[in-house]
Amino acid sequence: MKNKRIVSLLMSAAMSASLLCACGGSATSTAAGESTTESGSGSSSSETITLKMWGGVPAENGPQAACDAFNEAYKDKGIQVEYERFVNDDTGNVKLETNLMGGSEIDLYMSYTMSQLTKRAEGNMALDLSDLCARDNFDLTQYLGDLVNSYNVDGKPYALPCKLDQYGMVLNKDMFDAAGIEIPSEWTYDEFLEDCKKLTHGDGADKVYGVYWNSQQDMMQYAQFMISQTLGGDNMYADGGKATNFTDPVWEKTIDLINTTMNEGYAPTHADSVTEKLSQESMFLGEKSAMTIGPWMIRNIKDTATYPHTFVTAFAPYPVIEKGQRNYTQGGYGDFLCINPRSEHIDAAWEFAKWYLTEGAIHLASGGRVPSANTFDTDKVTEAFLSGAENLFDAESLKHVLIEPHDNYAAPTITTKNAELSDICNQELEAIYTGKESAADGLAKAKENGDAALAG
């Protein structure tokens, strides 16, 4: 590693001031020990650094376009980037983390949940960006507001959140119209369940479900989308993080709602989702469900060659437990762009990260990812979002639910043993959804085990 740092030092000294076009300021070294140059513009590098970036989004759905734009802008500045996709599931994330712990092959990568980010920050798989931000006077609140501080781990930034996550229920507007149901702008759990009943019809292979929960991919996060609207971003915690909150009535009623739709036939069961390898695409775009849980499938809605359909997709906010209990807006930041602390090109990786946050993320808007930074024009984001598929979306509900910024986001402020608590809760949720436990009993066990984990 010492020899590599010497090589890095010599390379950095030969690079021009334009290599680090920071927003201001200069520094003598980074956390990785690389020498730096002052910010500015000038001549090109004597040797090009090629960064390796890993992400979970298919290259053709925006990441490659972003990399191409960066490579064009930085072709004379000595930095290029190559993108590699990993599948954002358990197997893919294990592969990513194995590579991160094994060496410097990966320079930058995306984490997609707070529990993943916390685990990687605590496991020395993500670089603390504090020194780089201070060195370059790169104030994250300038671009992301005070909300960005909610995504720190132990008070420190380990990632640049590059996506504004405003989710909601995804609806088949044609099915809603046929059932005489207006697209909801506000609804309760009881109203949601009643709509699930009205939208469910048919039998066997011809059955259409009211909702598809996608539980085989994630059980806890989807429930939290609804829970957070009443309890906020720290909905797992009680007593300031000293205990868990799994037995709160909002938790119990939310899990019971999901379980009821499965038990009463308004949604595929969790077991069927797993054994039949169901997906949002097969269920929603295959017109086997009238609703599904989240809009990250936008790119596939647009792909009518692979998923032929003509119906209009609309959006609604997640239901709340009862009227007047929408205390928070479901939403916040996602697409956590991290730097591998073992990278041999920390400075160059930081340049790409800053560019991606403030300029590059627009290239993923057509695939359904709304840029987080305030450097992007909302109308242009909406235009990019709908590009080429205007007839497939209800523009009004899309803009209101997914794109227009809202206030009072349900952002997390506590990360204590986040990943461990998520694992504990998911274990009990699987028991609940497979009929081994009631919602009350399963969540009581989750609290008992979670409290023990926090006390340990």
**How does residue 7 score in pLDDT terms, banded at 50, 70 and 90?**
very low
Does 23 score more than 50 pLDDT? no
Between 407 and 303, residue with greater pLDDT: 303
> In angstroms, rounded to a whole number, what is the distance separating the alpha carbons of residues 311 and 327?
33
Domains and CATH numbers, the chain: 2-163+333-386 (3.40.190.10), 169-330+399-455 (3.40.190.10)
Does 16 score more than 90 pLDDT? no
Q: How much is the mean pLDDT over the chain? A: 89
pLDDT of residue 415: 81
pLDDT of residue 24: 34
Taking residues 431-452, what's their average pLDDT?
Answer: 97
What share of the chain in percent tops pLDDT 70?
90
Per-residue CA distances from 310 to 29, 177, 242, 285, 393 (Å)? 56, 14, 50, 10, 10
> What are the tens digits of pLDDT across the range 205-218?
999 999 999 999 88
Q: Tokens at residue 16, please?
A: 């021009």
Does 146 score more than 50 pLDDT? yes
Does 256 score more than 70 pLDDT? yes
CA R_g for the chain: 23
**How does residue 25 score in pLDDT terms, banded at 50, 70 and 90?**
very low
Q: How many CB atoms lie within 10 A of CB 190?
A: 13
Does 364 score more than 60 pLDDT? yes
Among 86-95, 403-412, 436-445, which stretch is predicted with the lowest mean pLDDT? 403-412
Does 309 score more than 50 pLDDT? yes
> In angstroms, rounded to a whole number, what is the distance separating the alpha carbons of residues 271 and 435?
10
**How does residue 116 score in pLDDT terms, banded at 50, 70 and 90?**
very high
> What are the tens digits of pLDDT across the range 218-239?
899 899 999 999 999 999 999 9
Beta strand residue intervals within 228-312, DSSP E? 237-238, 243-244, 291-292
> In angstroms, rounded to a whole number, what is the distance separating the alpha carbons of residues 128 and 252?
37
pTM of the predicted model, to two decimals?
0.72
Which of 220, 225, 274, 254 is closest to 428 using CA atoms?
Answer: 220
Interaxial angle between packed helices 220-231 and 249-263, expressed in degrees from 0 to 180 and rounded to the nearest 10? 140
Which of 43, 23, 27, 45 is closest to 35 using CA atoms?
Answer: 27
Which of 420, 452, 424 is closest to 242 using CA atoms?
Answer: 452
